[in-house]
Amino acid sequence: SAVISQKPSRDICQRGTSLTIQCQVDSQVTMMFWYRQQPGQSLTLIATANQGSEATYESGFVIDKFPISRPNLTFSTLTVSNMSPEDSSIYLCSVPGQRSYEQYFGPGTRLTVT
Amino acid sequence: SQKIEQNSEALNIQEGKTATLTCNYTNYSPAYLQWYRQDPGRGPVFLLLIRENEKEKRKERLKVTFDTTLKQSLFHITASQPADSATYLCALGASGGSYIPTFGRGTSLIVHP
């Protein structure tokens, strides 16, 4: 199994500002995923980040709002840009397991936008 | 549209009883179904996967059933303990080898001592 860490664990930000969330994995992985989990809602995939290529965004999410970097096989960042209170959520990164389609998740970043 | 339904109301049970959580889906033909556990302030943790051609899967005190006719999965925890209290998410994966499942909202389980 993979061990994933995220920074920061939580933050309170003012509207109009941006926050970059870091995700570090203890092993090399090809794919990394970024999810959003709004209160009482299911996990929603934001984008898939592959090393060496542009991230693939899901419907409803755009690169200008959620730029992603993937500089190597163990690290990725997600930036939440020009934040509004609607961006208040938990942001999680994950990686696929070696078998059976399971996913390993980081602890999440709890973002509150005021 | 595709829909995954899990009971939004918390399930309260007494320690030692069997907890049963339900995951229903519509407009979906999943190749596999997964169950995850999520504790407050933490990311989900993978528990079990069951494939479309499997009826039942067990792991220690956990049992998952998968009925593709009823479009339903049941998740059982036998001899439940207060430490089993958490939110349990089901997730469905499409055919074609997708590594990206679609998650339900989860059901909160509270086991009382």
**In chain B, which residues have their Cβ closer than 8 Å to the Cβ of A32?**
none
CB-based contact, A85 to chain B, within 8 Å: no
Work out the pLDDT band at A100, boundaries 50, 70, 90.
low
Give the number of residues written for chain A: 114
Residue A21: count other Cβ atoms within 10 Å of its Cβ.
23
Cα(B93)–Cα(B28) distance, rounded to whole angstroms? 9
pLDDT at res. B30: 87
Instruction: Determine which of B103, B105, B107, B108 to mutate to test the interface with A (most A C-beta atoms within 10 Å).
Output: B103
- Angstrom distances, CA of residue A44 to CA of A59, A90, B70, B109: 10, 10, 25, 22
Work out the pLDDT band at A52, boundaries 50, 70, 90.
confident
Under 8 Å between Cβ of B6 and B23: yes
pLDDT tens per residue across span B5-40:
998 899 999 999 999 999 999 988 888 999 999 999
pLDDT tens per residue across span A1-51:
789 999 999 999 999 999 999 999 999 998 999 999 998 889 999 999 988
Q: Which two tokens stand for residue B112?
A: 């009382």
Interchain proximity A42–B100, CB inside 8 Å: no
pLDDT at res. B13: 97
Cα(B62)–Cα(B67) distance, rounded to whole angstroms? 17
Residue % of chain A over a pLDDT of 70: 98
Which residues on adjacent β-strands are paired with residue A24? A5, A75
pLDDT tens per residue across span A63-95:
999 999 999 999 999 999 999 999 999 999 999
Under 8 Å between Cβ of A3 and A25: yes
pLDDT at res. B87: 96
Residues 6+ apart with CB under 8 A from A14: A83, A113, A114
Which residue among A41, A45, A107 sits closest to B42, beta carbon to beta carbon? A107
pLDDT at res. B96: 64
pLDDT at res. B85: 98
**In chain B, which residues have their Cβ closer than 8 Å to the Cβ of A102?**
34, 46, 49
pLDDT at res. A34: 97
- Angstrom distances, CA of residue A40 to CA of A24, A102, B67: 27, 23, 26
